[in-house]
Chains A and B, each alone.
Chain A
Amino acid sequence: DSGVTQTPKHLITATGQRVTLRCSPRSGDLSVYWYQQSLDQGLQFLIQYYNGEERAKGNILERFSAQQFPDLHSELNLSSLELGDSALYFCASSTQSGGSYNEQFFGPGTRLTVL
């Protein structure tokens, strides 16, 4: 158990809908990352938050947005869903401080199926 929790585990929805994925980082971790794993794109970085602020953006679609709340949990919002958004969405957290860099620990993922 990595200490990172994600809910829900599975989500099945229809095209055009909007969903919210939730992530709670490990205790003490300030950085939260979101990744998408799909068959055609592999594992891709979407976005990073550090202590409530957006820190880096990757290949995240405009239909997708995220935020990190004061209690450090994060939510990834996916809207106007398309079939191609079906994927496993991972959240990861790490402790970044004082210039040091630490490994990212991943949650169990949310499997999104868009029908």
Chain B
Amino acid sequence: AQKVTQVQTEISVVEKEDVTLDCVYETRDTTYYLFWYKQPPSGELVFLIRRNSFDEQNEISGRYSWNFQKSTSSFNFTITASQVVDSAVYFCALSEARFGNEKLTFGTGTRLTIIP
């Protein structure tokens, strides 16, 4: 069975601070995909990144960066120089991506509040 754990329920930081959101996952498959989604106050789910299990390179996109460590089953997300617009709930998700099992298993989310 697959499982995603986000232990940080809520985080508040002052604008311009860096913040890291933690994600730990469990799966028995050797091939899988990890994702981060953002849910702003308006409610929609916005795709941020996909990473497959064979690619452990860290990724940077503007102020966002992701650290994938297979050895610790973690896929952490860092926002540098946070802004008020980053306030949202962030979900980490896992898919085993096998035929008939492409569903996303989500963590419980981390509510991030950026204080101006």
Contact = CB atoms under 8 A, between A and B. Distances in A.
A84 B56 CA distance: 41
A56 interface: yes
Contacts of A55: 100, 102
A43 B91 contact: yes
A74 interface: no
B100 A104 contact: no
Contact of B102 (A42, A101, A108): A101
A109 interface: yes
Contacts of B106: 42-44
Contacts of B78: none
Nearest to B37: A106
Contact of B47 (A31, A35, A105): A105
B110 to A, nearest CB: 12
Contacts of A45: 103-105
Q: How large is the interface on B (under 10, 10 to 19, 20 to 34, 35 or more residues)?
A: 20 to 34
Nearest to A46: B103
A43 B45 CA distance: 11
Contact of A96 (B52, B91, B102): B102
Interface in B81-110: 91, 95, 97, 100-106, 108-109
Interface string B45-63: 1110010100000000000
B103 to A, nearest CB: 4
Given A2-B44, A90-B45, A101-B97, A58 B103 contact: yes
Given A43-B91, A109-B44, 14 more contacts: A31-B102, A33-B102, A33-B104, A44-B106, A45-B104, A55-B100, A56-B101, A58-B103, A90-B45, A94-B102, A101-B102, A103-B35, A106-B45, A108-B43
Interface of B: 33, 35, 37, 43-47, 50, 52, 91, 95, 97, 100-106, 108-109
